[in-house]
Amino acid sequence: MNLHALAIPTFTQMLRALSGQLDKAAAFAGQQPSALIEARLAPDMFPLSEQVRFACRQAAETILRLTGQPLHERAEVDPTFEALKARIAETLALLEATSEADFEGAAERAIELDLPNGIVFDMTGEQFLRDWGLPQFYFHLTIAYAVMRQAGVPLGKADLVPHALAYLRPGTMPGA
């Protein structure tokens, strides 16, 4: 499997799922969205708005690094459901515009990851995707889901991985 075949569908499917979760969260929040948007799983963790932003950032930066493109600063996201969904749509557009040919040499590409605290990681593209990009993405995605669930948003497993329903064997759904 090449890195394009792993990265693009993974990020795309999960960001679409996150967008659907935000639809449910917005409906749940009604006229008081800021309380949910600023909800945190723990006091020292980022709020829902930042978890969504970081999930998008991890997907976009991973793709840009793997394809040898320069990273670009992205404007801060307003803490509204509409702005969060727009950030997801912007990230999905980047993913959809990235072809398999763009990943030429990505597995062996030298990735230098400089963190704000001065730590530097040196990895190949394959190591970066496997050991940094995907884990960081899933961390923020899962925390966003957990924040919404903790707040009472009616989410379930089907909201986390709706794309998996495409593989459901006919006649095996309980109650069907």
Number of structural domains the chain divides into? 1
Q: 64 in a domain, yes or no? A: yes
**CATH number (domain holding residue 133):** 1.20.120.450
Torsion of CA 55, 159, 40, 44, to 10 degrees: -50
* Alpha-carbon span 16 to 34, nearest angstrom: 22
Q: Which residue has the tokens 């230098």?
A: 112
Q: What is the pLDDT along the chain (176 residues), one digit of tens a residue?
A: 799 999 999 999 999 999 999 999 999 999 889 999 999 999 999 999 999 999 999 999 999 999 999 998 877 778 899 999 999 999 999 999 999 999 999 999 999 999 999 999 999 999 999 999 999 999 999 999 999 999 999 999 999 999 998 899 999 988 76
Classify residue 77: in a domain, yes or no: yes
Answer yes or no: is 24 within a domain. yes
Residue at 47 is within a domain: yes
Domain that holds residue 122: 3-167
In a domain, 129, yes or no: yes
Q: Is residue 174 domain-resident?
A: no
Any domain includes 143: yes
The answer as to whether 175 is a domain residue is: no
